[in-house]
Amino acid sequence: MGSGKTGRFFSYAFLTLSIVPILVGYTWLVIATVSTRTRGLLPINAEGGIGGLTLGNWSFVFESAIWSAMLNSLLIAVAMVIGVGIASTSGGYALSRFKFPGRKGFLTGTLVLHAFKAEMLLIAIFFVLRWLGEIPLIGPYIGFNSVGGVALVMVALELPLGIWLMKGFFDNISWDMERAAMIDGAGRFRVWWQIMLPQVRPGIAALALFTFIAGWNAYLVPFTFTIGTKVANMPVYLNQLISDTAPVNWNQVAAVGLFQMIPLIIFFIFTQELLLNIYAGGSKGT
């Protein structure tokens, strides 16, 4: 690098080289979805020559399994946005603005949990989910092997980050505004709902985007806590296609993969700045 011409050249050469594997991966994904077969990055026809483009790989869109998986993915993602949203905006507000016994402990705990990856707890969460499943009436919807159960676990896992993120946003709001509202006659709940929440809308949007993506992409938790195709979400469904004992149709798999990336591609195109910020933000509490 450097300001000289050679420096410039090496900068761009290095950066371009560094993204080759990423670009190659996506190029294959796109090409494969419209090819009968591929050799490396090349579409191959039945005779082994280049060609053989087809839309046949997309026939899965006429099967109900994909739509059920998509619905499950959507349910998990939306439930996460709502669950993490409520728990983080309320919890973050309390931690940012209230003085109460246990505040320091709670803050430290949130931080530790935020740094701590909870995947190791999945073994024990398995039993918690089985117990939740025993609860009369609502049990089947929030227990083991249910979309609700998966969503609950995912909400909990994202919560430390969400609380820390929202606390950072609340920290930045002027105390005077909250004081003014209290003098105007608002109680703390009203202050939170009518005055504070509208101020942290950018934070809520960032958190919603972040948790939606986390929910939409979720693999490990749904894979661990669901059985069979009925409750499978998109990533689990895709993985089932790959690990089928029958020979894998890689091109169809690619098409399913690209299909499940559609919302992500939309986010990627329209919320670039926000994405780069939120993936940094959660860790620093701002």
Partner 1 sequence: MTEKQLSATEQLMEQEADSLARAAIGAPKQPRSSLGRRVRSTVSAYGFLLPAIALVITFFIIPGILLIILSFTNLSSANFTEPWEFIGFANFERLFTDPFFPKILRNTVFYVFTTLIFFNLGLALVLALVTTNIPRRRGFFFRLVWLLPRLTPSVVYILMWKRIGSADPFGIYNQFMPEVLGASGGNLFLGGAPWAFVILTNGFVGASFGMIIFTSALMSIPEDLITAAKVDGASTWRIIRDIKLPLIKWPLLFIATYQTLSLLTSFEYILLLTEGGPGLFTTEVWALTAYKRAFSSYFGNSQWAFGATWAIVLVAVALVMAVLYVKIFKFNELVEEPRIENL
Partner 2 sequence: MRVELENLSKAWDGVVGADRITLDIADGEFVAFLGPSGCGKTTTLLMVAGIYKPSGGTIKFDGHVVNEVAPKDRGIGMVFQSYALYPHMTVFGNISYPLRIQKVNKTEIKERVQKVADMMGIGDLLDRKIVQLSGGQQQRVSLGRALVKEPQLLLFDEPLSNLDARLRLTMRGEIKRLQEEMGITAIYVTHDQVEAMTMADRIAVMSGGVLQAYDVPTDLYEHPKTQFVAGFVGNPPMNFFDVEIVAMDGEFRAKSGSIDLALPRDRAEKAAAAGKDKLIMGVRPEDIYLVDDAEPAAPGRTLTAAIEVVEPLGREDLLGVTVNDVEMRVLVDKTKGAAVGDNVDLVFDMSSVQFFDPETEQSVLWT
Question: Is 199 an interacting residue with respect to partner 2 (CB under 8 A)?
Answer: yes
C-alpha distances in Å from residue 48, one per residue of 15, 38, 51, 253, 257: 35, 10, 9, 21, 25
Q: How many binding residues for partner 2 (CB under 8 A)?
A: 16
Stretch touching partner 1 by CB under 8 A, among 22-30, 60-68, 133-141, 198-206: 22-30
Question: What part of residues 211-230 is at the interface with partner 1 (CB under 8 A)?
Answer: 213, 216-217, 219-220, 224
Residue 82, contacted partner among partner 1, partner 2, none, CB below 5-8 A by kind: none
- Residue 87 binds partner 1, judged by CB under 8 A: yes
CA 154/CA 83 separation, integer angstroms: 9
Minimum gap (Å) between residue 180 Cβ and partner 2: 4
CB 223 within 8 A of CB 243: no
Binding of residue 9 to partner 1 (CB under 8 A): no
The interface with partner 1 within residues 231-270 (CB under 8 A) comprises 234-236, 238-239, 242, 250, 253-254, 257-258, 260-261, 264, 267-268
Which residues in the 159-198 window bind partner 2 by CB under 8 A?
Answer: 174, 176-177, 179-187, 190, 195, 198
CA distance 239 to 246: 13
CB-count exposure of residue 93 (10 Å: 0-12, 13-18, 19+): buried
**Nearest to residue 179, comparing CAs of 169, 188, 170?**
188
List the single partner that 112 binds among partner 1, partner 2, none, CB under 5 to 8 Å by kind: partner 1
Instruction: Give CA–CA dist 278/259, Å, rounded.
Output: 24
Q: Give min distance, CB of 173 to partner 2, in A.
A: 10
